[in-house]
Each structure stands twice: as structure tokens, then as C-alpha cells.
Amino acid sequence: AQLNKLAKAAGLLYFGSATDNGELTDTNYVNILKDTDEFGQITPGNAQKWQYIEPSQGSFSYTSGDQIADLAKENGQLLRCHTLVWYSQLPSWVSSGSWTEATLTSVVNTHISNVVGHYKGQCYAWDVVNEALNEDGTYRTNVFYNVLGDSYFALAFKAAAAADPDAKLYYNDYNIESTGAKQAGVVKIVSLVKDAGAKIDGVGMQAHLIVGSTPSQSSQQSAMASYVAAGVTEVAYTELDIRFSSLPSTDSGLQQQAADYASVTKACLAEAACIGITIWDYTDKYSWIPNTFSGQGDALLYDFDLVKKPAWTARHYDF
């Protein structure tokens, strides 16, 4: 059986993949992507980010985002929507604007009400705030924090809830899949948002991991349990990939990668609140890793030729 089918049989809501507009002309790629036994959920890798969706103030561009939302709808797949408030891929009119609290509040409210309103009813979940923490658990400096302080979290979650009351609202970040200072920072954000009277449903663990250095299953479970204890009703692995820090990968490395993917799957299955796993695209052909981490890669479940790797095959034993 295939991954989404296995995941659902094991009690998850979905096993999914990110995708991107440029890849959708690759017929062999799309045929696998749209197979709902394999992927029950998709996430646009770029199309809904601020720089593309509101490139200049008040002018919204939904064509690319709609292409992926429509694909999910046609295929009967859940859509995770990504992302609303993030320091990166943020147009310079936002990051370099000279804002007051009042004007930036209005910019955030306008962005979220338009974008979430446009996709109302189509998003299973929204990543409302993305990557707001430094590694030591302190708040990352960005235009939102500089102007609004920590009140921007509740502002964003309230605006998203108002625009689509049915979407699950997530805080999403990386290096929060195990316990430590950054995971404690996430607990603080969940509490902060809830104490401000806003709705937060989930924590998304990006899980951009490294072969051989993947956190232990027990540490992953402790991290998830801490988010649930802080008051979210669900957690998910939202951008999973497990890369080789040096290439080429070896046969034994590919076996280690399979074991690392297995530990994530098992951790999710062991936590009742863990509802799904999304890989950050499914084939090494379209992975973001080589462009961002020079010399690294081979992070996904299918190789460059869309052939299943040991980490795919091993899924059969994990679910």
C-alpha cells in the first residue's frame, strides 16, 4: 500500500507533500503527486507567501496559490496553507516600511483578512506565524517584532480566526521537534496567544532534519507533549525532509535515512495529537535543500528519477 493509505489506516489524518507551481508541468511528477493513496494533503511551497501574494501594498495576486488550491480540490486532497506572517520572503515594502504600531497593525490585518478570506473554506490549516524564534528561544528580530513587540502573535491569530473560523491555526517553526530552548519558546508563544484570548489550534514542526542527527523518538514525543500541555489540540510534521550533509549518499546512508524517517513516523503515531506528516516535496528532483544548503541534499523519499528510495520502502514497517 501507499503512504497516505498506510498513514490513515494507522490513525493519521493524512500523509502529504509540498509542491510548487513550476513543477506542475512535469506529468510524471504530477501523476504521483495527485495519487491520493500516496498523498492525502498538499502544501504550496511558495505561492501563498507574502512576496508573491501581496507584492505591493493592497494588490493581491492569487493565480499561483489558486493553481495549487484547485489541484487539491480536484484531487480530493487536504490543503495546508502556508504562510501569513514571516520575516522571510517578505516584500521590502513591508520589511523596510517606516511603520507605526497603528499602520503596521493595519497592514497585517489587511493582509490576513484578504488572503485568509480568499481561501476561506479551502484550507485545512494555516501556518499563521512562521519562524518567529531564535535558536535560544528568544523572539527573532523582524519588522513585526520591532514595531509591535510580542503583541503581533495574537494580532495575527485573531485576524486569521476572524477571516476563516474553520481553519486550524498553527504556529510553525524548525528545530522545535525536540526539547530545548527553542521548544520552550514555542510553549511560551502558545501561552501568549491563548492568554490574549486568541485561538491557536496547532504547532507545526517543520522538521528539516539531517541524516544521522535526527532527534530521538522520545525527545520528539516530549516536545509534542509539551505543545499539547500548553493548549493546542493538534501537532503535525509540516515540512519534513532528512538531508545528507555531504554527498554523494551511500547505501548505508540511505538505510540510516530510512531509520531516521521511521523515528519521525513512530513519534507521530505515538502522540494522539499528531495528525499528519507532510514532506517538503516528495522527490530530490524538486527539493529546496541543494539551493539553500550548498553541497547537501538527497533528503526526500523519491530520487531524482522519481524512483522510490529505501526511506519510502521502510514506511511500510513504520505505519
Active site residues: 131, 239
Q: Which is nearer to ligand XIL, 237 or 288 (CB)?
A: 288
Closest distance to ligand XIL from the beta carbon of 258 (Å): 23
Q: Which is nearer to ligand XIL, 4 or 46 (CB)?
A: 46
Cell of 163: 477571516
- Out of 17, 46, 226, 278, the residue judged to bind ligand XIL by CB under 6 A: 46
Phi and psi for 64 in degrees, rounded to 5? -70, -40
Closest distance to ligand XIL from the beta carbon of 288 (Å): 3
Q: Is 45 in the site for ligand XIL (CB under 6 A)?
A: yes
Q: Which is nearer to ligand XIL, 15 or 170 (CB)?
A: 170
Q: Is 44 in the site for ligand XIL (CB under 6 A)?
A: no
Q: Which is nearer to ligand XIL, 6 or 240 (CB)?
A: 240
Residues 70-129 that bind ligand XIL (CB under 6 A): none
Closest CA to 65 of 216, 158, 57, 55: 55
Beta-carbon count within 10 A of 308 CB? 14
Q: Is 244 in the site for ligand XIL (CB under 6 A)?
A: no
Q: Is 17 in the site for ligand XIL (CB under 6 A)?
A: no
Count of residues interacting with ligand XIL (CB under 6 A) = 6
Q: Which is nearer to ligand XIL, 50 or 288 (CB)?
A: 288
Q: Is 215 in the site for ligand XIL (CB under 6 A)?
A: no
The answer to whether the beta carbons of residues 278 and 232 sit under 8 Å apart is: no
Q: Is 302 in the site for ligand XIL (CB under 6 A)?
A: no
What CA–CA distances, in Å, run from 82 to 211, 274, 302? 26, 19, 23
Q: Which is nearer to ligand XIL, 90 or 192 (CB)?
A: 90
Q: Is 249 in the site for ligand XIL (CB under 6 A)?
A: no
- Out of 244, 288, 312, 319, the residue judged to bind ligand XIL by CB under 6 A: 288
Closest distance to ligand XIL from the beta carbon of 72 (Å): 17
Q: Is 50 in the site for ligand XIL (CB under 6 A)?
A: no
Cα(144)–Cα(146) distance, integer angstroms: 6
Closest distance to ligand XIL from the beta carbon of 88 (Å): 7
Where are any strands of DSSP class E within 227-296? 234-243, 274-279
Cell of 308: 522510490
Closest distance to ligand XIL from the beta carbon of 130 (Å): 5
Cα(194)–Cα(152) distance, integer angstroms: 13
* CB contact set of 62 (below 8 Å; sequence gap of 6+): 53, 118
Maximum Cα interatomic distance, the chain, rounded to a whole number of Å = 57
Closest distance to ligand XIL from the beta carbon of 8 (Å): 25
Q: Residue 242 burial (CB < 10 Å; 0-12/13-18/19+)?
A: buried
Residues 121-180 that bind ligand XIL (CB under 6 A): 130
Cα(235)–Cα(231) distance, integer angstroms: 11
Helices (H), 86-168: 92-95, 101-118, 143-148, 151-163
What CA–CA distances, in Å, run from 273 to 11, 83, 233, 249, 265? 11, 22, 6, 34, 13
List residues near ligand XIL by CB under 6 A: 45-46, 130, 206, 239, 288
